[in-house]
Amino acid sequence: MRINKFLLTITLGIILAISSCNTTKKTTTASVEKTSEIIFDINLLDLSNDTFKVKVKTPQLSATNNIFQFASTAPGTYQIMNIGKYVTKFAAYDKNNTEIPTTKQGLNQYVISTPAKVDYIEYNISETWDTEVKENKIYLMCGTSIEKDNVLINGQGVFGYIKGLQDLPILIKIAHPQGWISGTALSKNSQGYYMANNYDHIVDSPILLGSTLTEASIDVEGTKIQVYTYSKTNKVHSDQILSSLESMLKSASQFVNGLPVKRYTFLFHFEDKTAGAWEHSYSSEYIYKEDTWENLKKPIAETAAHEFFHVVTPLNIHSELIQEFNFIEPQASSHLWLYEGVTEWASHMMFLQAKETNLDGYFEMLQRKIRINNFYDPTYSLLKLSETSFSPAGQKQYGNIYMKGALVAGLLDIRLLELSKGEISLIDIINKLAKQYGPNKPFDEKGFFDEFVAITYPEIAEFFDLYIKNSNPLPIEDYYAKVGIKFSETRTYENLSGLNANLYPTPRGLYVLEDYTNDSMELKKGDMIVKIDGADVNALNQKEVMAVFAKKSVGSEYTVSITRGRGETKENITFNSKTTAKVSVNVFEQLDTKTIIQEALQQKWLN
């Protein structure tokens, strides 16, 4: 998730063939006599009260199967969800349709009085997008939505599991209006049921349905790529997206020496808000505010590159804490630096090496990440961030995994190139580990740092201690000099715009990172600039809107509209442009002269 996330690993309980995946997991020891799977029926013909109407056909239950569990969280979200609070009705029945007493226990569990008598369970569960809750609001891309023309299902938001039977195969029938299209990485059997290996698998497999979905597919070097898109007013279509993603997918294949999956599904939802994306083992989903494809093309390509690279880590490289995820009391892995930091670095590096972006573009990305990293707690190590990711304190620092985590991965890449004299890069080690482990074999959570050092160089142990286990200042200047790149923390130049605030583009506007005052305008840290000269401005069009300043003369008047705090709005604040000296920070540029070693390492780094 581009905000969050371990990759959901697909695991296999009792074997159930699915064409898109080949993973295994331990089988259950619970008594199963009546059936060998759990069958879910979801009624989308009745969308009243914005609730999913769910019926669960159970196998024969024993006394140990007396709890029906809803998830407290899900892998990759790093947030407490407590899905049970969305349940509005729950009942168990026997073969004669007689209700069996149940008792709610805590937020997420229903205790069944006589489980051996249960024939089926029925419950209603509200969508998460539009349901008001007092705390732990679920990220849009991790939640569920019900509208007249489309439905989004994230597994943990609709499905629960029976205690002791989490590993049983699942069959899912969805009754929906005629003519609706559905997109998912799941496959159907001959009776029209979606097949999931177990509960983990259905949480790992979002489903997007709707009357106006568009679909497109293509084969990329032996991998079937599918795109399903909901666009509120049909501004964006799947064929546009697929055409734009094709070069990224080929770059990814080149970067990792061939795509490691045979099928992958992209799900896109374009409506009123931008929230980001959530990756899964064989699919990913994206929630963006609808706009023209030209405006959406670049940010979605960058996000999709990150999400897709998760097919390497953690799908093929993960610890036992990810393989055997605990949906009740999750334990955070120490290796978020690998799952998210390395993935974020790789999603940019693969574009650079494939020449889909140039060095200036790559430098701009590094500059942005350093700037944002500086606003997080400098004492918070990547290891601490990983291990506290589910806590309120860790949540405050979580976004830095995409900044500091990616920066550290870039430094690790350079260090490996230096130690190997250009023969081994970080992606070489990642590919080696992916072949050694794969989807079915987790690495040892506690021993992974030592294992990584053992297959590389002893000096990497010191690197881990300094920059992952502890939070020492990053040696950006020294390391990039090794590959012929000069880094300067500050550089002064003339600014003609007059808008000198330190701004960070977001989907809602330009976030002001520090207080700013000139003769005619005052901005405070935390303000959000939403309009400039009457034009909406956000992360998608920031460069185009700001470029207007370069064409104006000194002394020209401009207006800015901001939002501040809880709903306070200030419209059309006037300020004047003037020529001022401005300091640019964190500048990357080529060294004027390079040594033979620097030149050689740069070529290896770029290729």
Task: Tell the residue number behind the tokens 């960070």, with chain if given.
Answer: 504
Tell me the average pLDDT of the chain.
87
Q: Are residues 55 and 88 in the same domain?
A: yes
If asked whether residues 67 and 131 sit together in one domain, one would say yes
Q: Are 279 and 338 within one domain? A: no
342 has pLDDT over 70: yes
Section 442-452 average pLDDT: 96
pLDDT at 231 over 50: yes
Residues 471 and 511 in one domain: no
- Residue 238 inside a domain? The answer is yes
241 and 387 together in one domain:
no
DSSP H helices in 374-457 = 382-387, 392-397, 404-419, 426-436, 448-454
| pLDDT-based confidence at residue 47 (cuts at 50, 70, 90) | very high
Q: Is the pLDDT confidence value at 272 over 80?
A: yes
Average pLDDT over residues 376-403: 92
Same domain? For 450 and 523 the reply is no
Query: How much is the pLDDT for 260?
Result: 87
Sign of the CA dihedral 484, 489, 495, 500?
positive
Q: In this predicted structure, what is the pLDDT of residue 538? A: 80
- Residue 3: pLDDT over 50: no
Confidence check: pLDDT of 217 > 50: yes
CB atoms within 10 A of CB 485: 23
What is the per-residue pLDDT for 497? 54
Question: From CA 188, how far away is CA 207, in angstroms rounded?
Answer: 13
Q: Which residue segment(s) compose the domain that 87 sits in?
A: 38-309
Q: What is the pLDDT of residues 524-535, one digit of tens each?
A: 888 888 888 888
DSSP secondary-structure letter at 421?
A: T
Whether 17 shows a pLDDT value over 60: the answer reads: no
**Amino acid code (one letter) for 255:** F
Residue 111, pLDDT > 50, answer: yes
Whether 434 is in a domain gets the answer yes
Q: 369, 375 in Cβ contact below 8 A?
A: no
Region 308-328: what's the mean pLDDT?
Answer: 87
**Statement: residue 90 has pLDDT above 50:** yes
In a domain, 64, yes or no: yes
pLDDT at 406 over 90: yes
Sorting pLDDT into bands at 50, 70 and 90, what band is 9? very low
Query: Which range (48-52, 116-120, 492-496) has the least confidence?
Result: 492-496
- pLDDT of the residue at 569: 74
One domain for residues 339 and 202: no
Residue 599 lies in a domain: no
Mean pLDDT of 11-34: 32
Residue 330: band (very low, low, confident or very high) from pLDDT cuts 50, 70, 90: confident
User: How many structural domains comprise the chain?
Assistant: 3
Q: Report yes or no on 341 lying in a domain.
A: yes
457 and 537 co-located in one domain: no
Residue 416 — pLDDT band, cuts 50, 70, 90?
very high
Two structure tokens written together for 406 = 């990616």
Cis link prior to 314 (omega < 30° from 0)?
Answer: yes
We report the CATH number of the domain holding residue 337 as 1.10.390.10
> 341 and 238 share a domain?
no
- Domain assignment present for residue 543? The answer is yes
Q: What is the pLDDT of residue 214?
A: 98
Quick one: 481 and 507 in the same domain?
Answer: no
- Is 602 a member of any domain? no
Handedness of CA 538, 539, 540, 542 (dihedral sign): positive
pLDDT at 15: 23
Domain containing 552 — which CATH number?
A: 2.30.42.10
598 within a domain of the structure (yes/no): no
Same domain, 184 and 264: yes
What pLDDT was estimated at residue 524? 82
- Average the pLDDT over 406-420 and give the result: 98
> Over 80: is that where the pLDDT of 428 sits?
yes
pTM comes to: 0.77
Q: Is the pLDDT of residue 5 over 60?
A: no
Residue 430's Cβ-side half-sphere holds a number of Cα atoms within 13 Å equal to 26
Strands 223-231 and 263-271: what pairing? parallel
Q: Per DSSP, which regions of 8-69 are E strands? A: 38-43, 51-57, 67-69
pLDDT of residue 388: 92
CB under 8 Å to 462, separation ≥6 — which residues?
Answer: none
Whether 501 has a pLDDT exceeding 80, the answer reads no
d(CA 425, CA 493): 36
Report d(CA 161, CA 588) in Å as an integer.
52
33 pLDDT band (50/70/90 cuts)?
A: very low
**Is the predicted pLDDT of residue 12 greater than 60, yes or no?**
no
Cα dihedral: 421, 426, 429, 431 (round 10): -130
On whether the CB atoms of residues 285 and 145 are closer than 8 A, the answer is no
Query: What mean pLDDT comes out for the span 509-520?
Result: 72
State how far the Cα of 152 lies from the Cα of 427, in Å rounded to an integer.
Answer: 35
Structure tokens at 427: 């992606």
What is the mean pLDDT of the segment spanning 208-231?
Answer: 96
The tokens describing 88, both together, are 């509005």
| Cα–Cα distances in angstroms (integers) from residue 212 to residues 26, 74, 248, 272, 294, in the given order | 40, 29, 26, 16, 21
Left (φ > 0), alpha (ψ -120 to 50) or beta: where does 573 sit? beta
370 falls in which pLDDT band (50, 70, 90)?
Answer: very high
Q: What is the pLDDT of residue 577?
A: 60
Mean pLDDT, range 3-29, rounded to an integer: 30
Q: What is the DSSP string of 262-308?
A: SEEEEEEEEES---EEEE-SSEEEEEEE---HHHHHHHHHHHHHHHH
Enumerate residues 6+ apart whose C-beta is below 8 A from 385.
336, 394, 397, 398, 400, 401
Q: Give the type of residue at 347.
A: S
Q: Residue 128 is part of a domain; what is its CATH number?
A: 2.60.40.3650
Share of the chain above pLDDT 70, in %: 87
Do 481 and 504 belong to one domain?
no
Contact 526, 509 (CB under 8 A): no
pLDDT of residue 22: 30
